[in-house]
Amino acid sequence: LTENRMYQQNEKSPLQVFVRAKKKINDIYGEIEEYVHETTQFINALHSDAEIVDKAERELFESYVYKVAAIREVLQRDHMKVAFFGRTSNGKSSVINAMLREKILPSGIGHTTNCFCQVEGNDGGEAYLMKEGSDEKLNVVNIKQLANALCQEKLSESSLVRIFWPRERCSLLRDDVVFVDSPGVDVSANLDDWIDNHCLNADVFVLVLNAESTMTRAEKQFFHTVSQKLSKPNIFILNNRWDASANEPEFQESVKSQHTERCIDFLTKELKVSNEKEAAERVFFVSARETLQARLEEAKGNPPHLGAIADGFQIRYFEFQDFERKFEECISQSAVKTKFQQHSSRGKSVSGDMRSMLDNIYERITIFRNLKQDQKNLLTERIQGTETQMMQVTREMKMKIHNMVEEVEEKVSKALNE
Ligand code: GDP
């Protein structure tokens, strides 16, 4: 029953827009690949039988096979990527763990992430990590071991450790979301390298702030650089550690409205990446540590409030869920647009090129046939037999070429419109 419910919830998730689009475009490219193969065989046969197709044309056609195969490979690896930034100890790792509903990334004192950590789904049931520049799969049995591995390694701050986690343990990983945790923006001087190496293909950025203090210059500077390199990046702001505000309920509302105003101004007036309405929907007040605790309780079959740290748990918990929903909608739409639009138009141009080449070939076949027709009267019955055969093959070819190309074009156009 639980599994069934999880499945139904999953079906309703906004991430499914990406999951379905990915499946569809992969299927279409699978068909395009079949057509290209089939057509190449056909062209090769024409080349050896009659001199209708020349060598250069045949080679050009073969190049489509490689082009389509390369696009298919990229497509299969496409995912949605979210990257987390903020000062050390603001709770970046805790936010990721809360979203994954499991303590995967080490967090807390002494476990400062000193390099980039990427968590992604893995189809096999095992958990392992891989360091940059190595194919070796290092087994991870538990979080403690992972923390030690990350701390002991002498890793440069802009290097990347990839953590592969069993997909079936988390619905976000199952739906192809990849999480990137970063070292604190306060420790790095290499913001440019960071952005070039880890951020250019991120669909969403999450700035994790400490609600107990104000946004720092380092945090602002980082996002200024991001928005110079990327046009209109999607940025969410989490004012984390909001549980601390429960200690001073008399100031809670005024602190909240002050933070909200500053965050909205930052997104709209400083970075100019959002309008007022959108920015207002991208600023949240949460407690990552509490959300994670609540979810760990839920996994044990207990009510979530057992994970509460302070008064007002329910509001903060809802706000975290609200953030997740808006985040899922945003990342899914953005990834479909940026990742698949390009592939769809390339698919369209490949099928368009194929069509015009095949149309040319068809024209040449028709001229060839007419020539034969003129010679008909002069030829013997034996040759007439060959002629009839030739006519038939030509008719079949015409049908085949047109059906093939029309089908590819129609499918790609349909996918583009959807
Ligand atoms: P990072 O360096 O930004 O990845 O921060 P961590 O996730 O490692 O968190 C640093 C410390 O803050 C850890 O001890 C967390 O348990 C704690 N922490 C994180 N989020 C919260 C929160 O919302 N409330 C409270 N009270 N503590 C938090």
Q: Which residue, by CA, sits nearest to atom 14 of ligand 1?
A: 108
Q: Which residue, by CA, sits nearest to atom 24 of ligand 1?
A: 241
Q: Which residue, by CA, sits nearest to atom 19 of ligand 1?
A: 91
Instruction: Give the number of the atom of ligand 1 that is nearest the alpha carbon of residue 95.
Output: 7
Q: Is the CB of 113 under 6 A from ligand 1?
A: yes
How far apart CA 72 and CA 65 sit, in angstroms, is 11
Average pLDDT over residues 380-406: 64
* pLDDT grade for 388, boundaries at 50, 70 and 90: low
Average pLDDT over residues 177-190: 86
Distances in Å between the alpha carbon of 289 and those of 92, 239, 346? 10, 13, 45
Q: Is the CB of 240 under 6 A from ligand 1?
A: yes
Instruction: Give the number of the atom of ligand 1 that is nearest the alpha carbon of residue 97.
Output: 7
User: Of the candidates 363, 348, 349, 351, which has an alpha carbon nearest to the alpha carbon of residue 34?
Assistant: 351
The complex scores an ipTM of: 0.99
How far apart CA 379 and CA 377 sit, in angstroms, is 6
Q: Is the CB of 243 under 6 A from ligand 1?
A: yes
Chain centroid to CA 27: 17
Most confident range (mean pLDDT) of 70-74, 162-166, 374-378, 388-392 is 162-166
> Could you report the per-residue pLDDT of 278-317, keeping only the tens digit for each?
999 999 999 999 999 999 999 999 999 999 999 999 999 9
Query: What's the confidence (pLDDT) of residue 1?
Result: 41
- What values do phi and psi take at 196, rounded to 5? -60, -40
Q: Is the CB of 319 under 6 A from ligand 1?
A: no
Q: Is the CB of 287 under 6 A from ligand 1?
A: yes
**192 compared with 207, residue with greater pLDDT:** 207
pTM for this prediction: 0.84
How far apart CA 209 and CA 391 sit, in angstroms, is 74
Lowest mean pLDDT among 216-230, 237-251, 375-389: 375-389
Q: Which residue, by CA, sits nearest to atom 11 of ligand 1?
A: 108
Query: What's the confidence (pLDDT) of residue 301?
Result: 97
* pLDDT grade for 321, boundaries at 50, 70 and 90: very high
Lowest mean pLDDT among 91-100, 175-184, 365-374: 365-374
Give me the chain's average pLDDT, please.
84
CA of 89 to the centre of ligand 1 (A): 6
Query: What's the confidence (pLDDT) of residue 136?
Result: 85
**236 compared with 361, residue with greater pLDDT:** 236
